[in-house]
């Protein structure tokens, strides 16, 4: 990116088959999630984030399909048709929304990096629940290839899932 692009805000070109980290933290294999519904791929292939920050950001340009009423999870559909579920923590639905600040609504268009919700990770931990966050491609069967980029620290600038048609 050149100086003028930085100064005048040239748009970032996003690969339509890439999913960026929705949270800062460590990207890990989905099999590290201590819940068989996620770990065994029942809801789709994915990765998980061990978050260091509770800010959940859009991992691509798309639309909010469903922001769960309790704020613990959000499903998104990318402009290219990727159906993604971000589920903050495990069993967090039982917290009835207390540790979550929802920033978007159903049907809202979002751009990569837009804040979707903010989770109070300390409140989740204080409730005795894990904060590990599954990031699942619910229509992963529509793609010939799936590569999770795990085993490293990530932010919203890092691609954590690469799909191929």
Pick from 45, 123, 107: which is nearest to 74 by CA?
Answer: 107
Active site residues: 87
What is the full DSSP assignment across 79-132?
TT--EEEEE-SSSGGGGTTTTEEE---TT-EE-TT-EEEEE-HHHHHHTT----
| CA atoms of 128 and 116, how far apart (whole Å) | 24
């Amino acid at each position: 990116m050149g100086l003028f692009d930085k100064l005048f805000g040239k748009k970032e070109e996003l690969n339509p088959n890439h999913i960026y980290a929705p949270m800062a933290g460590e990207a890990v294999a989905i099999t590290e999630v201590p819940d068989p519904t996620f770990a065994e791929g029942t809801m789709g292939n994915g990765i998980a984030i061990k978050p260091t920050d509770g800010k959940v950001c859009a991992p691509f340009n798309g639309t909010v399909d469903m922001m769960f009423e309790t704020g613990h999870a959000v499903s998104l559909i990318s402009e290219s048709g990727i159906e993604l579920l971000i589920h903050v923590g495990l069993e967090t639905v039982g917290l009835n929304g207390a540790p979550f600040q929802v920033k978007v609504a159903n049907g809202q268009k979002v751009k990569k990096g837009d804040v979707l919700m903010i989770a109070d990770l300390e409140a989740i931990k204080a409730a005795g629940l894990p904060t590990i966050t599954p990031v699942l491609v619910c229509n992963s069967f529509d793609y010939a290839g799936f590569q999770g980029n795990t085993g490293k620290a990530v932010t919203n600038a890092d691609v954590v899932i690469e799909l191929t048609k």
